[in-house]
A and B are shown apart, each in its own frame.
Chain A
Amino acid sequence: MNLDFSDDQKQLQEQVRRFLADRCPPSAVRAILEGPEPFDRALYKGLGDLGVLGAAIPEEYGGVGLSHLELCLVAEELGRALAPVPAASSIYLAAEFLLHAGSNAQKRAWLPRLASGEAVGTFAFVEGAGRMSPDKIHAAVKDSRLSGVKSPVPDGDSADVAIVAARSGGGRGEGAISLFLVDLAGPGVARESLETIDPTRSYAKLTFDAAAAEPLGGEGEGWRIAEMVMDRAAILMAFEQLGGADRALEMARDYALERMAFGRQIGSFQAIKHMLADMYVSATLARSNAYYGAWALATGAAELPIAAATARVSATQAFQHCAKNNIQVHGGMGFTWAFDCHLFYRRSNALALALGSLSTWEDLLIERMRGANAAAA
């Protein structure tokens, strides 16, 4: 039994934490929140140089060739620091799509650049409001040309390459969906930045008008591959959420120790203590569930889809819970622009929707448990 990270992995995590403490203080997050840049380019390049973006990418494709366990811990640190970088889009999604479904040429063309941080990739999937289903996808590819509108696309304003889910061929339902690789620098791509609840991770609307699109994976395989990759990304995202939850809890705890009211530290009042204890409970459940996800990710276990949904639901709850109560513990000061509480509140609610909403993942979890139960019977 070993449901823990190795000492080497924890050392890498510590190294990333120190790097981010130095290069990504709250002021760096605010610079993106308040400024024109979609993400912190110097920070992202630094992460690439450090080798952590390519942690799970094989050396032959320009990565470091470690494992997804290391990437989980990198994600946790990115979440803790609220790093304003496109790692989720570029590494958890685009790189994973390339690794699992890309041709050798596609991998060679893009993975080294994604691993170094020189290029940014993304997954253009969603078309408007509501839970995604194959029927919601109207973007279509005909004669290797993509037309349609994808919105919101994470980091769509800065990405160099997108994996796009679109209709092609004559299949029906899930079988109608295929994946395509689109170089966003080519003609026929228009981008429009979107205002969002968390400007430290940008979104854009991408309009394709006969843009050149090359297939990624087999025709009609798009939905299946996308589900698989989004499960994997959900586990990495759970670690990001976990990092954010832990940091929000620490901020609240520190403030409760420092702030005096009625002649005592507010952390001596049971109303505050119990609120913080409940935040700790959420964060602890989320951590244990995320470790379960990490195990599934690292071993390719058959129960990965269940582990992914479990980790995702638990981490979403924990980050939202800790971020909202962090504001509550801070009282009025927590609602000022100057305090950092809102950065965590924004991020927690944005990440709760990325990759699909909480209710979507709750539904997936029970659907999958039902399937496993039926298979076992």
Chain B
Amino acid sequence: MNFDDTPEEAAFRAKVRTWIDANAPKHLEPELKRAGFASSGIESEDPLAASKAWQKRKAEAGWACLHWPKEYGGGAATPIERVIWNQEEGVYGALSSAFIIGQGMCGPTVMAWAKEEQKRRLLPPLASGEEIWCQLFSEPAGGSDLAGLRTRAVQANDGSGEWIINGQKIWTSGAQHSDWGLLITRTDPDVPKHKGLTMFFLDMRSPGVEVRPIKQANGQSGFNEVYFTDVRIPDEQRLGAVGQGWEVSLTTLMNERLSIGSGMSTGFPELFQFCMEAEIDGRPAVDDPAVRSRLAQFAVRQSGLKYTGMRAITALSKGQTPGPENSIGKLVAGATMQELAMFALDLQGQAGVIQNADSPMNARFQGMLLRSPATRIEGGSDEILRNIIAERVLGLPGDVRVDKNVAFKDIPTSGRSKA
């Protein structure tokens, strides 16, 4: 057992480090390091422009989407090389957040299902950050029960073969900056719900697409609603067969859980730092036995996630596929972050209620408190993740699905119960 690179890994790391040192936007480093929770922290210039500039520079040197094939704008690197890149990119990795959904989820779906000439057209600008993608999956009526979605696609009977889209998506990250969207629709309401879905990609500037930001419970607006009114999509932009949309979506969701779960922060290092500085009865909080007990609970979760990640990297380094243990990442990190934020505020006493620049660690814990409920829901809620562990890892039976063999139009929904 060791935490050392192989000679090949060490050589790759040295190459990456040299390039980053010569090319990274170092003038942004102080801002990126100070970043609060859930933002890149860039204020001195347009954050999206800064992100695009760094991504473009990486793409030109062959460092963008490292694991993708070269003909699609990638670097044809091994999985372990991708891990090393991410470790070395460090704080600058925060500049990539605008591209995570496109490169992590939409790209792999396009790669698996689009025609060759489409892949050559769409993937390189996605890799280089010149074009941004969003994922149009969740709906007001279909979140955890994604296949319950209601956005309709009907093929026009004017001989064009085009599809006409009407409906609404919700929780779409980055829709306001996006050039393209990956859209799942219902094409046949007369068959059971999983069988009547079809996947498309569309130009987000198509007539009839309207993006409205959602004001979130924490006051920020990272997500949007997207409305479709008679939006037309050419049939060539269909991914997979008509009615095969569910299968196509699984490519995306599999990649979603992989990219969201890896390397998530729990906030423990910041809490520990705070407990070294804060005082209880004139002594450092970290010396209080009750504080120590809570800190230890958080510490072993943080450490367990860290070394679970290292076990996955070990598998990658040996050319193997990581085991199912990685499925615990977001489940543990999300809940830990929320409990930890509550504990940090508790240590601040009545002043914990204050969320301004004078709050400890630049109000980081107050920000975590208000953002963490979303972490426990987005990208698969805690309950969906427990189902996945129970079914795919432990081999327990799937849920009883009362809607499985019922035509979609006959499934009872909120406000439309079965008579």
Contact = CB atoms under 8 A, between A and B. Distances in A.
Nearest to B317: A1
Interface stretch (B28-36, B98-106, B397-405): B397-405
A361 B292 CA distance: 10
A207 interface: no
B286 interface: yes
Interface residues of B, number: 53
A273 B395 CA distance: 10
Given A273-B387, A317-B300, A362 B400 contact: no
Task: Give the 3 A-B CB pairs with smallest separation, nearest first.
Answer: A285-B304, A362-B296, A273-B390
A369 interface: yes
B71 interface: no
B1 A369 contact: no
Grouping DSSP codes into helix (H, G, I), strand (E, B) and loop, the B interface class, with mixed when no group exceeds half, is helix
A3 B3 contact: yes
B231 interface: no
A4 interface: yes
Grouping DSSP codes into helix (H, G, I), strand (E, B) and loop, the A interface class, with mixed when no group exceeds half, is helix
B303 A314 contact: yes
B394 A268 contact: no
B386 interface: yes
Interface of A: 1-5, 69, 253, 256-257, 264-265, 267-268, 270, 272-274, 276-278, 280-281, 284-289, 291-292, 294-295, 298-299, 309-310, 313-314, 317, 359, 361-363, 365-367, 369-370, 373
B311 A3 contact: yes
B299 A369 contact: yes
Given A4-B314, A267-B397, A274-B390, 17 more contacts: A1-B317, A2-B2, A2-B4, A3-B310, A3-B311, A273-B390, A277-B390, A278-B386, A280-B389, A281-B389, A288-B306, A289-B303, A289-B307, A313-B297, A313-B300, A363-B289, A363-B293
Interface stretch (B242-250, B325-333, B358-366): B325-333
12 contacts: A1-B2, A1-B314, A264-B397, A268-B399, A270-B387, A273-B390, A281-B331, A281-B389, A288-B310, A359-B293, A365-B292, A369-B299
Contacts of A272: 396
A253 B300 contact: no
Interface in B370-419: 383, 385-387, 389-391, 393-400
B396 A256 contact: yes
Contacts of B295: 362, 366
Contacts of A2: 1-2, 4, 314, 317-318
A268 B398 CA distance: 6
Contacts of A69: 1
Contacts of A309: 296
A1 B300 contact: no
A310 B300 contact: yes
B304 A289 contact: yes
Given A264-B400, A268-B396, A363-B296, A1 B313 contact: yes
Select the residue from A265, A309, A310 with max chain B CB neighbours within 10 A: A310
A273 B296 contact: no
Contacts of A292: 303, 307
B276 A273 contact: no
A270 B383 contact: yes
Contacts of B389: 277, 280-281
B70 to A, nearest CB: 26
Contacts of B67: none
B64 interface: no
Given A270-B383, A286-B304, A366 B396 contact: no
B396 A257 contact: yes
Contacts of B116: none
A370 B284 CA distance: 11
Contacts of B304: 284-286, 288-289, 314
A295 B399 contact: no
A273 B315 CA distance: 28
Nearest to A314: B300
A2 B304 CA distance: 16
Contacts of B398: 268
Contacts of A373: 272, 276
Nearest to B287: A370
Contact of B292 (A256, A277, A281, A363): A363
Given A3-B1, A314-B303, A285 B296 contact: no
Contact of B299 (A264, A284, A291, A310): A310
B314 A257 contact: no
Contacts of A264: 397, 400
A4 B311 contact: yes
Given A280-B394, A365-B296, A370 B286 contact: yes
Contacts of B299: 310, 313, 365-366, 369
A257 B398 CA distance: 11
Contacts of B391: 273
B17 interface: no
B300 A289 contact: yes
B325 A1 contact: no
A362 B292 contact: yes
B5 interface: yes
B274 to A, nearest CB: 12
A284 B331 CA distance: 12
Given A267-B396, A295-B3, A366-B295, A284 B300 contact: no
A66 B389 CA distance: 36
B57 interface: no
Interface string B276-300: 1000000000110101110111011
B386 A291 contact: no
A310 B396 CA distance: 31
A253 B276 contact: no
A2 B6 CA distance: 10
A289 B4 CA distance: 18
B301 interface: yes
A238 to B, nearest CB: 11
